[in-house]
């Protein structure tokens, strides 16, 4: 229940509060007094009577003084006197036996760690705010308590069908046996049949290979994914074969934005803006035939000056072109991996303080915590999802409807 304004004014007047430090000091002392009274009330309830009001109750148990107990809290350390009963039957619920830290400090450490703060910064922050000393080793030990959650999350059952799945990789450095090695965090993001984004998997392994992706895809299948309509991926030799081996019916779409970026590498800066504008006619074409015609026109304009920028598209056309056969609402979702690149930006934001991770487990732990923070904000469905779903049902029928 909130404190009334009149009571607040009375508290200010009676305690001569003139600064934030005075308020903090009052809160600290009041916190201790409130805890003390709550524990006395707990013993009253346990004995069945208030102090000095035993009355006609038939019980041989009664109060038996207090035991001092030092506590850590968000207001620093202080001593509280825990009431005792003669028969030793009183078990405090508010502050259980052997508990000396009531600050919720572990939750604070995990929260700060999830936001990318270094162990030194976490130490300094807690020391400044609460006067609590925590070593880097202790921070690591506290955050290790979530490892069972990480393993459970990595192996949780998944939906039987995902209309869209995006796969990408983000690279880090990890220390192993005194050596610094390159590691890849394999990220799989799906769009559910209800139109919501979901991180399906994050696995840390060796540098990006189609063999490792094959293992990831088999893991999705083993966790219950029976079908995927569209995979959107960046270019990787063997990627297509890995997907077809596990989900043979799936349509595979090479990310158009990645293809553009690859082409732009071969374009002079002075021509870049004009080339990019001209290229819009290719990927905005109403159908594949029109797109090929526009690509031919582009080749006539730019092909001699920048041959590879054009041949890159010609050589990979089979993997780039699938989205042309679908309506705009579906195209907008499947033609680019920007959705997963946005997620990767969030990961980079929280991992930027770590040039090298001490282990694969440490990296997985931080990416898991970052994922939980990101997904809490994913409350909106894809725009026009009802229309997208209806179009998908018309196109794919029972591949979707048997799981809806």
Q: How far apart are CA 69 and CA 36, in angstroms?
A: 11
pLDDT at 1: 45
* CB crowding 172-207: b at 16 or more within 10 Å, else e: bebeeeeeeeebbbbbbbbbbbebebbbbbbbbbee
Residue 38 in 3-state DSSP?
Answer: helix
Looking at residue 9, what DSSP letter applies?
H
Q: How far apart are CA 391 and CA 328, in angstroms?
A: 11
DSSP string, 17-34: --SHHHHHHHHHHHHHHH
Q: What pLDDT digit, counting tens, does each position of 304-332 carry?
A: 999 998 998 998 898 888 999 999 889 98
Residue 65 in 3-state DSSP?
Answer: strand
Give the residue extent of every domain in the chain: 5-143, 159-401
* Helical (H) or strand (E) element with 403: none
Q: How far apart are CA 168 and CA 231, in angstroms?
A: 11
Conformational region of residue 370, where left means phi above 0, alpha means psi within -120 to 50, and beta covers everything else: alpha
Q: What pLDDT digit, counting tens, does each position of 142-167 carry?
A: 778 788 888 999 999 999 999 999 99
Looking at residue 321, what DSSP letter applies?
G
pLDDT at 225: 96
pLDDT at 142: 74
Q: Are 228 and 208 in contact (CB under 8 A)?
A: no
* CB crowding 302-337: b at 16 or more within 10 Å, else e: bbeebeebbebbeeeeebbbbbbebeebbbebbbbb
pTM above 0.85, yes or no: no
pLDDT at 362: 85
pLDDT at 154: 92
- From the first residue on, what is the mean pLDDT of each consecutive set of 10 residues in the chain (404 residues)? 60 68 67 74 78 67 83 73 83 73 69 76 73 71 82 94 92 87 90 95 80 90 96 80 93 88 89 91 91 92 90 88 90 85 87 83 88 89 92 92 84
Q: What pLDDT digit, counting tens, does each position of 12-40 carry?
A: 676 676 676 666 666 666 667 777 777 78
């Amino acid at each position: 229940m909130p404190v009334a304004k009149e009571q607040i004014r009375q508290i200010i007047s009676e305690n001569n509060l003139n600064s934030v430090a005075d308020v903090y000091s009052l809160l600290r002392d009041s916190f201790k007094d409130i805890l003390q009274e709550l524990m006395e009330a707990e013993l009253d309830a346990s004995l069945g009577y208030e102090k000095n009001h035993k009355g006609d109750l038939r019980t041989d148990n009664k109060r038996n003084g207090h035991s001092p107990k030092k506590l850590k809290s968000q207001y620093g350390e202080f001593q509280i006197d825990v009431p005792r009963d003669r028969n030793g039957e009183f078990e405090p619920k508010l502050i259980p036996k052997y508990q000396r830290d009531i600050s919720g400090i572990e939750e604070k450490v995990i929260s700060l760690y999830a936001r990318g703060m270094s162990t030194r910064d976490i130490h300094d922050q807690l020391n400044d705010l609460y006067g609590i000393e925590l070593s880097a080793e202790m921070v690591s030990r506290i955050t290790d308590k979530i490892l069972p959650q990480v393993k459970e999350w990595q192996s949780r059952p998944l939906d039987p069908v995902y209309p869209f799945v995006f796969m990408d990789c983000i690279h880090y450095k990890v220390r192993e046996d005194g050596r610094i090695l390159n590691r890849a965090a394999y990220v799989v993001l799906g769009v559910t049949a209800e139109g919501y984004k979901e991180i399906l998997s994050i696995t840390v392994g060796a540098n990006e290979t189609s063999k490792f992706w094959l293992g990831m895809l088999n893991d999705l299948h083993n966790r219950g994914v029976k079908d995927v309509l569209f995979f959107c991926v960046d270019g990787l030799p063997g990627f297509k074969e890995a997907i077809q081996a596990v989900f043979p019916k799936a349509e595979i779409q090479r990310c158009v934005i990645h293809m553009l970026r690859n082409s732009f590498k071969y374009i002079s800066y002075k021509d870049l803006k004009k080339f990019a504008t001209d290229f819009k006619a290719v990927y905005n074409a109403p159908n594949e035939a029109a797109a090929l015609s526009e690509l031919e026109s582009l080749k006539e304009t730019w092909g001699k000056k920048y041959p590879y920028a054009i041949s890159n598209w010609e050589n990979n056309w089979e993997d780039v072109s699938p989205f042309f056969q679908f309506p705009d609402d579906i195209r907008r979702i499947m033609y680019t991996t920007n959705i997963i690149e946005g997620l990767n930006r969030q990961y980079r934001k929280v991992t930027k303080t770590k040039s090298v991770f001490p282990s694969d487990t440490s990296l997985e732990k931080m990416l898991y915590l970052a994922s939980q923070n990101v997904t809490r904000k994913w409350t909106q469905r894809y725009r026009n999802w009802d229309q997208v779903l209806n179009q998908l049902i018309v196109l794919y029928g029972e591949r979707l409807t048997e799981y809806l």
